[in-house]
Amino acid sequence: MKCHYCDREAVVRLPYAKLNLCREHFAEYLLRKLERSVERYKMFGKGSKVVVGVSGGKDSVTLTKLLSESGLAKLLVVHVNLSIGEYSRISVETVRRFSVEHGLDYLIVDLSEYGISIPELVAKTRRSPCSVCGMVKRYVLNALTLDLGYDALATAHHADDMAVYIVKSFLLQDYDQLYKISPVNYEVPGLAARKIKPLYEFYEFEIETFAKLYGLPFVSVKCPFKHVGWLERYVRELLDRAEEESPGFKISLLRSHARRTLSMRSAEQAKPKACASCGLISSGTECSFCRFTRRALGQPMGLVVRRWIIGEAAAGGTRRVTGTPPSSVG
């Protein structure tokens, strides 16, 4: 099997694009695909400052590598230490190693001394570990992007997962969730950072193949809290079968969905509110993070997190941190 563009052996086949590619042309193809996605969805302008949320898994290291190769933005790698035993220890070390090897500025956020550790928070609630973990990560990354003055927050959600979330939210008739799923969620000044998903149209197999071909360090152990429910399993199987029957099916679904959600964004953000405790975006009087930590830890922790971020950025320390923190918050 020869590469579509040269005489070298192909190492990957992309059925949706009807292409067989060698290692070099595959990397070039993915880089162009990333640049086109950034442009298509108007994610950020050239020279912007972008925070990349990096868990240390194959998706987030591939996203960071491609963004860094593209030279489109100045990056800050941010990892939230979830304090989930050995899994977190490996993740922190992987992100550190990856960042150092690639000469990237990085920041490891560790708030365990304030009780913000996933096992500790999970023990105090009936919520599922992944929902607590998702809320904590969303809060910290949003606060950090805003408080350090970055233009956007990039996360590594890919096409296979996004298609599952869309169909699952529809089946559950969870329209609030459904309309939040988008390649770009635009900023609300002072309250919410711009959130972007540059891998929105990337298949998981492309990401995994790239990470392996280029020897990127990534965490392959599973989080002990990982649990996939029956509905998600069912929807994933269904979509995988549809993709096999009709290559490119998931990308068509995602593009149609994006057209709809992006045209609705102004109505959705018509009246954003500020959390009474921390000042960031909230659907009620207090944001879900402050409400949750008030119940679990006895006090809302939003402002504590925001002060930590600013202090840490100002201190610099051994980490290479960029950004000019504002002098005070709240």
209-232 in b/e form (b: 16+ CB < 10 A) is bbbeeeebbbbeeebebeeeeeee
Give 223 or 235: the residue with its C-beta nearer to ligand SF4: 223
Q: Cite the beta strand spans of the chain per DSSP E.
A: 12-14, 19-21, 48-53, 73-80, 105-109, 152-154, 184-185, 195-196, 273-274, 281-282
Dihedral (Cα; 154, 160, 162, 165), 10-degree rounding: -140
6 binds Zn ion (CB under 5 A): yes
Pick the stretch among 27-35, 126-134, 191-199, 236-244 that binds ligand SF4 (CB under 6 A). Answer: 126-134
The partner in contact with residue 321, picked from Zn ion, ligand SF4, none with C-beta cut-offs of 5 to 8 angstroms by kind, is none
Burial (CB count <10 Å: 0-12, 13-18, 19+), residue 116: buried
Q: How far is the CB of 298 from ligand SF4 (least distance, A)?
A: 23
Q: How far is the CB of 75 from ligand SF4 (least distance, A)?
A: 22
> 3-state DSSP: the chain helix, strand, coil percent, rounded to 5?
50, 10, 35
Least separation, in Å, of the C-beta of 218 and ligand SF4? 14
C-alpha to C-alpha distance for 287 and 281, rounded to whole angstroms: 7
**CA-based Rg of the chain, rounded to a whole angstrom?**
20
HEC per residue, 113-140 = HHCCCHHHHHHCCCCCHHHHHHHHHHHH
- Residue 90 interacts with ligand SF4 (CB under 6 A): yes or no: no
> Which listed option, Zn ion, ligand SF4, none, makes contact with residue 129 (CB within 5 to 8 Å by class)?
ligand SF4
Contact residue for Zn ion among 88, 277, 306, 313 (CB under 5 A)? 277
User: Of 57 and 279, which CB lies nearer to Zn ion in the complex structure?
Assistant: 279
Total residues interacting with Zn ion, rule: CB under 5 A? 12
DSSP secondary structure letters along 140-206: HHHHHHHHTT-SEEE----HHHHHHHHHHHHHTT-HHHHHH--SEE--BTTTB--EE-TTTT--HHH
Span from 130-138, 237-245, 254-262, 267-275 in contact with Zn ion (CB under 5 A) = 267-275
* Residue 111 binding target from Zn ion, ligand SF4, none, CB below 5 to 8 Å by type: none
Query: Which one, 134 or 330, has the nearer CB to ligand SF4?
Result: 134
Q: Are 77 and 104 in contact (CB under 8 A)?
A: yes
Contacts of ligand SF4 in 129-148 (CB under 6 A): 129-130, 133-134
- Tokens 């002060």 locate to 307
The interface partner of residue 271, options being Zn ion, ligand SF4, none and the CB cut-off 5 to 8 Å by kind, is: none
Of the residues 73, 254, 287, 305, which one makes contact with Zn ion according to CB under 5 A:
287
Residue 226 makes contact with ligand SF4 by CB under 6 A: yes
Task: Please identify which residue in 16, 186, 214, 225 interacts with ligand SF4, judged by CB under 6 A.
Answer: 225
Q: How many residues bind ligand SF4 (CB under 6 A)?
A: 9
By a kind-dependent CB cut-off of 5 to 8 A, residue 57 interacts, out of Zn ion, ligand SF4, none, with: none
Nearest approach, Cβ of residue 44 and ligand SF4 (Å): 26
Rounded distance between C-alpha atoms, residue 328 and residue 314, angstroms: 11
- 217: Cβ contacts below 8 Å, ≥ 6 apart: 61, 94, 97, 98, 101
- Sites for ligand SF4 among residues 28-67 (CB under 6 A): none
User: 44 or 87: whose CB is closer to ligand SF4?
Assistant: 87
Gap between the Cα atoms of 101 and 112, Å rounded = 27
The two three-digit tokens of residue 122, written as one number: 């999970």
From the list 290, 301, 321, 329, which residue makes contact with Zn ion (rule: CB under 5 A)? 290
Interface positions with Zn ion (CB under 5 A): 3, 5-6, 8, 22, 25, 275, 277-278, 287, 290, 302
Interface positions with ligand SF4 (CB under 6 A): 82, 118, 129-130, 133-134, 223, 225-226
